[in-house]
Structure 1
Amino acid sequence: MRTRPREVVRMLATLRHSAHCRRLRAASAAQAARDLANEAASADAPEDDDQADAATDTEGPRSGIH
């Protein structure tokens, strides 16, 4: 059975998309781990009210894309 060029192109695009999503998920997990480590480190040090307000304003990574 011979594959058609269009099928090959579609398959490559799907593989590329999957790899991109994997990299995004890995980067998101790494960022979450860094944020958690920063929170643990900042819990040991006394915080100012301005820093506490700034920490609550940041949003986490958006999930549900894939």
Structure 2
Amino acid sequence: VTPLAGFCDEIQYLFVAEHLAKTNRYECDDDEVIEVVTLSREQLEEKIIDGTITDAKTIACLSKARLCGYI
């Protein structure tokens, strides 16, 4: 997905992962804050509809995954 076409050459990659196991191990930079939130597709779509999620890259990747039959 190229979210800023015509402005810059940034590319957003979409990865589909299956059969994952939850773990408490992850590493991030000292100034980086990561919160892992698990949502069903329906919950994700509801958060987009109600305006909780407004990030265009997230919405574009969800749309691409649906159109390509990944989800």
Q: TM-score, normalised by structure 2?
A: 0.29
Question: Higher relative CO (CA 8 A, sep ≥ 6), structure 1 or 2?
Answer: 1
TM-score after normalising by structure 1: 0.31
